[in-house]
Structure 1
Amino acid sequence: MKFSAAILFTLVALGPSVSAQNGDPEYERHVVPFFRKWCLNCHDKVTREGLLSLENLSSDVVSDDFETWRMIDEQLRFGEMPPKDSDQPPSSDRQRVLGWLRKKIEASQMPGAIALEKLLLPQFGNYVSHESLFGIRRDHVIPAPPRLWRIRPQIYASVMPRADGLANGLNVQDGPDFKDYAASYFLDEAAAAPLLSNAKKMADALIGPKSKEKGFVRLAEEGTENPVPEVNRAFQLILGRQARVDEQERFAEFYVRADEKAGHEAAARILLTAVLMQPETLYRQELGEGEPDQFGRVRLSPAETGFALSYALSNRPLASIMAAAEDNKLQTRNNIAAVVRQVLDNDEPVYPTHGFHYSFKNSPRILTFFQEFFHHEFVTEVFKDAPEGIGEHDPGRLAGDLNLTIMEILAADSNVLAELLTTNRYFVSARRYVDKRKG
């Protein structure tokens, strides 16, 4: 009896065990204590929450337990375990376990996407841990690689020349919440066809009788031996920049050859279509220019910085920001802050002639962010039915009231997020609009 009691006491004192069959010292030093302290209360043989027991889990990752280890890697890396309402391990302990596990998984060369690879997928492009975002500033710098950013469909619609009958050629894979940040284009044959069709229609509009671009109209009617000015204008109008010297030569030669074979009008149309089909109409590049600094970072070019700032605030290049880029006034952090502050200080609300589509002139993207934050697109669906006893009911008015509330808090620019989440001041059936009869 005493012997049995002693065994029972020993088992209770030791608690659940974790297997370490292969004698891996790093596993025994970091992983085993981590599991005992943070995992085995819920994932031992008895409790088995989620039908998962970590007892006797083989420390040999390349084993029958590989899928379990892969899941552990994912849950720890994305902060899903321990549960968010439980005590959390120190970040250093978590990172040591993940470091050991990452090396083992990479060495296994087993197929299947693992957590770190998932972070490279588009849908995880906006994932940043809370600690990394708001924690202690790091004492080292990790340079970002050169990147291509996908242009939002709203930018495509705003920047591209106007034409009738344009198709939505941007097939976007979006989640149900914030739009566009992590979506991808599918540039297969089916997606390229409407983009080419759009380009042809826009080119026709630019050389047509109603076009305001008289240089393109003359190019189509009269032709020219030196199309470089028209090439530059096309690049400026469509891509928001001047053509490089090599681009001037290449597109000018392209026009001349087309003119010789098909005539002035067809050549002008082909030239504009070619510019409209450039990758820059769909992607914004961040390649940088100049020599790397001591951390290996390469500063964005002024134009790249200008586009990045413009598209963070708006759906089109902002003239004041792009002018600052051309004048090399976006070279330092203070320069950039001054330019952005000027844009925001000179901003003003935009009220529609009808409806409730309120916005800001220079920074509509800021309001769009909070509209997505509060799930604006569901307002008209959720409140589509009129309450009993209410005569006129327009669910769009509710979205308009929320827009005005957000805009007022943004204009005050003080504790914005806290005010948005806690304010008891709200517009009710408000109506602000521009009366064209009064000019």
Structure 2
Amino acid sequence: MGSGLFAVPFTTSDKVQELMMNYCFDCHDGDSKKGDIQLDNLESLVLEDRLDLLNKVQEQLYIKEMPPKKKKVQPNAKDRQSLLDWISVELGNHNASTLEEKLRYSNYGNYVDHEKLFSGEVKEKAFSPERRWLVNPRIFNERVMDVFRLDRNDRNRFKQRQDGVLAGVKNPFIIPEHSGVRDYDVRMLNGGHLLVMITNAKWIAKKQIYSALLKMPKKQALIDDLNSTRIAGTTVNSISGLDSWYPKVTPEAFEKIVLMNRLPTDGEMAAAVQEQFGCVLRRNATKQELAKYVELLSSSITLAGNSEGLQQMLFAVLLESDFLYRLELGGVEIDEFGRRKLTPQEASFAISYALGDLSPDHELL
């Protein structure tokens, strides 16, 4: 705690002083200081210490942990809100409220004031903001297996492994299982997340066309490279062989481009783009997306050849936000209250993930 020598000017209204006298100072004045918390000297604290203390008080008041339930004298809803409003203003003046940031996360969802929610005083129509939800590790692994269109037997074989995932893929986000929270609304990606995403995309894109590459004349170099990553004693296409695994079949639209001895036509490139959107995002590319990715594929093939150019397009689609997140952005139509319904695809993913940690089947999509 700071001393008066470094204090920042700070005052409280008579009303706030009265409320704190009635509900706070019995346990948190200079004599008692329960939990090493003192509230009757706020004006003498340096700014950083005062903001830290007010954040603690704000959270305890908001979730109704303070005053303790065993206390006979409790603030009514109006008094509690008055204290919260005062603290919110003080913290807001310095953009320092940690509670407001925490409440954006789903693991704080149960702290909604249910009395207020169901009292009828809230007149606004319910809505959720646009959100991007991270999927939990099980769903992420299923999504990767969706890209390769693995059948149920192959999926079960992966799940029986100790780590339960493909060797070259890592979930960019670590979500703690003990929290009970299945997914998070995250707004910022850092360099570490991006690096993992790029590494994943490169590995997946290469594996997607590996079977086709093995049909080319220079396949021996690929086999030698594959064997160098394989555990001794395992077969080339064995799941237990770590990075030696690859899908047995390359999608026809990809294989055609890999094996042809000419530049692909616009139609052939469009078919490859739509195939990748189906594998990765479970939907068709829009007209704008199709034009963008056909242009990327064409320029990449011109620079690096059919196989490398195709991998570049596959890689780029794997970095689309639809693959890493479950989106809740809504459709185009806006109702009279300014709200937008989830698109059918957004709703199908939300339902399927909630019920079984699996991607939706074709009927639900």
TM-score (norm 2): 0.67
1:43-81 deviation digits (Å, cap 9, x = unpaired) = 344433224444465599979855543432232123331
Distance 1:177 1:64 in 2: 29
The answer on whether the counterparts of 1:173 and 1:184 sit within 8 Å (CA) in structure 2 is: no
Amino acid paired to 1:216: F
Unaligned stretches of 5+ in structure 1? 1-20, 324-439
Amino acid paired to 1:166: G
Q: Would the alpha carbon gap of residues 263 and 51 (structure 1) be closer, same or farther in structure 2, given more than 3 Å must change? A: closer
Instruction: Please state how far the C-alpha of 1:190 moved relative to its aligned partner.
Output: 4.4
Instruction: Please state how far the C-alpha of 1:94 moved relative to its aligned partner.
Output: 1.2
Amino acid paired to 1:140: E
The answer on whether the counterparts of 2:142 and 2:358 sit within 8 Å (CA) in structure 1 is: yes
Q: Is the counterpart of residue 269 in structure 1 residue 311 in structure 2?
A: yes
Instruction: Please state how far the C-alpha of 1:186 moved relative to its aligned partner.
Output: 8.2
Q: Which residue of structure 1 aligns with residue 24 of structure 2?
A: 39
Q: Which residue of structure 2 aligns with residue 221 of structure 1?
A: 259
The answer on whether the counterparts of 2:175 and 2:183 sit within 8 Å (CA) in structure 1 is: no
Q: Would the alpha carbon gap of residues 308 and 302 (structure 1) be closer, same or farther in structure 2, given more than 3 Å must change? A: same
Distance 1:212 1:22 in 2: 69
Find the residue that maps to 1:284 and give its secondary structure.
strand
How many residues of Structure 1 are paired with residues of Structure 2 in the alignment? Answer: 296
Q: Is the counterpart of residue 246 in structure 1 residue 288 in structure 2?
A: yes
Q: Would the alpha carbon gap of residues 34 and 175 (structure 1) be closer, same or farther in structure 2, given more than 3 Å must change? A: farther
Instruction: Please state how far the C-alpha of 1:189 moved relative to its aligned partner.
Output: 4.5
Instruction: Please state how far the C-alpha of 1:243 moved relative to its aligned partner.
Output: 0.2
The answer on whether the counterparts of 1:171 and 1:186 sit within 8 Å (CA) in structure 2 is: no
Q: Is the counterpart of residue 296 in structure 1 residue 338 in structure 2?
A: yes
Q: Which residue of structure 2 aligns with residue 375 of structure 1?
A: none
Give 1:139's match in structure 2, choosing from 123, 135, 148.
123
Amino acid paired to 2:293: F
Q: Would the alpha carbon gap of residues 23 and 213 (structure 1) be closer, same or farther in structure 2, given more than 3 Å must change? A: closer
Q: Would the alpha carbon gap of residues 62 and 245 (structure 1) be closer, same or farther in structure 2, given more than 3 Å must change? A: same
Distance 2:36 2:316 in 1: 58
Aligned sequence identity (%) = 26
Give 1:126's match in structure 2, choosing from 85, 108, 117.
108
Q: Would the alpha carbon gap of residues 293 and 190 (structure 1) be closer, same or farther in structure 2, given more than 3 Å must change? A: closer
Matched ranges for 1:348-363 at <5 A: none
Q: Would the alpha carbon gap of residues 151 and 103 (structure 1) be closer, same or farther in structure 2, given more than 3 Å must change? A: same
Q: Is the counterpart of residue 157 in structure 1 residue 141 in structure 2?
A: yes
Q: Which residue of structure 2 aligns with residue 317 of structure 1?
A: 359
Instruction: Please state how far the C-alpha of 1:135 moved relative to its aligned partner.
Output: 4.8
Distance 1:149 1:81 in 2: 32
Instruction: Please state how far the C-alpha of 1:125 moved relative to its aligned partner.
Output: 5.0
Unaligned stretches of 5+ in structure 2? 1-8, 151-165, 212-247
Q: Would the alpha carbon gap of residues 212 and 286 (structure 1) be closer, same or farther in structure 2, given more than 3 Å must change? A: same
Give 2:83's match in structure 1, choosing from 97, 101, 110.
97
Find the residue that maps to 1:273 and give its secondary structure.
helix
Distance 2:11 2:276 in 1: 68
Q: Which residue of structure 1 aligns with residue 197 of structure 2?
A: 195
Find the residue that maps to 2:180 and give its secondary structure.
coil
Distance 1:220 1:289 in 2: 37
Amino acid paired to 1:159: R
1:278-336 deviation digits (Å, cap 9, x = unpaired) = 2222123222233543433222222222222222223333126643xxxxxxxxxxxxx
The answer on whether the counterparts of 1:203 and 1:272 sit within 8 Å (CA) in structure 2 is: yes
The answer on whether the counterparts of 2:133 and 2:184 sit within 8 Å (CA) in structure 1 is: no
Give 1:79's match in structure 2, choosing from 61, 64, 73.
64
Task: Return the structure number with greater relative CO, CA threshold 8 A, min gap 6.
Answer: 2
1:224-273 deviation digits (Å, cap 9, x = unpaired) = 30221221121011111110001111111222222233332222222212
Distance 1:172 1:185 in 2: 15
Q: Would the alpha carbon gap of residues 86 and 230 (structure 1) be closer, same or farther in structure 2, given more than 3 Å must change? A: farther
Distance 1:320 1:221 in 2: 30
Distance 2:318 2:63 in 1: 41
Distance 2:141 2:275 in 1: 19
Q: Which residue of structure 2 aligns with residue 115 of structure 1?
A: 99
Distance 2:66 2:99 in 1: 14
Find the residue that maps to 2:22 and give its secondary structure.
helix
Amino acid paired to 2:299: R
The answer on whether the counterparts of 2:134 and 2:326 sit within 8 Å (CA) in structure 1 is: yes
Q: Which residue of structure 2 aligns with residue 211 of structure 1?
A: 249
Amino acid paired to 1:148: R
Amino acid paired to 2:110: V
The answer on whether the counterparts of 1:174 and 1:182 sit within 8 Å (CA) in structure 2 is: no
1:367-413 deviation digits (Å, cap 9, x = unpaired) = xxxxxxxxxxxxxxxxxxxxxxxxxxxxxxxxxxxxxxxxxxxxxxx
Instruction: Please state how far the C-alpha of 1:34 moved relative to its aligned partner.
Output: 3.0
Distance 2:133 2:57 in 1: 32
Q: Which residue of structure 1 aligns with residue 33 of structure 2?
A: 48
Q: Is the counterpart of residue 287 in structure 1 residue 329 in structure 2?
A: yes
Find the residue that maps to 2:326 and give its secondary structure.
strand
The answer on whether the counterparts of 1:125 and 1:181 sit within 8 Å (CA) in structure 2 is: no
The answer on whether the counterparts of 2:136 and 2:175 sit within 8 Å (CA) in structure 1 is: no
Q: Which residue of structure 2 aligns with residue 306 of structure 1?
A: 348
Instruction: Please state how far the C-alpha of 1:118 moved relative to its aligned partner.
Output: 3.8
